[in-house]
Structure 1
Amino acid sequence: MKKAVIGAVLGALSVAAHADSMIQGLMENLYGGVAFGLSHYGHGCQPNAFECKNTQNPGYKYWGGWKMSDRIAGEISYINFDRVKGTSGSGGQLSTRALRTDGFLFNLAFYQPISQDFTGVGRVGVARLHTSGTVSGFGIAGTREIRPSQGDTSPYVGAALNIDFRGLMSKFMPVNLDGFYVEIGVDVTRARFAGDEHTVRLWNVGGAFQF
Structure 2
Amino acid sequence: MSFPPSKEFQAIPWEKGMRLGPGRRFPDTFLDRLGEIKVKTGSGTVEDPLVLWPLPGPWTSRGHRQSVIMDIVKQTTSDCGLSHAWIASDIHPTCTTGWKDGKRQIDKDDYHVTVRMGSNSRTCNIHGHIYLICEGNDMRRNIVRAMKTSERGIVGGTSPQLLVWGPYDPSWPRAKTPLPEPPYKVKKDSILEFQNKARAEAAAAANASNRKR
TM-score for the superposition, normalised by structure 2 = 0.27
RCO greater where, 1 or 2, for CA within 8 Å and sep 6 or more?
2
Larger Rg: 1
The structure whose residues are more often helix, as a share, is: 2
The structure whose residues are more often strand, as a share, is: 1
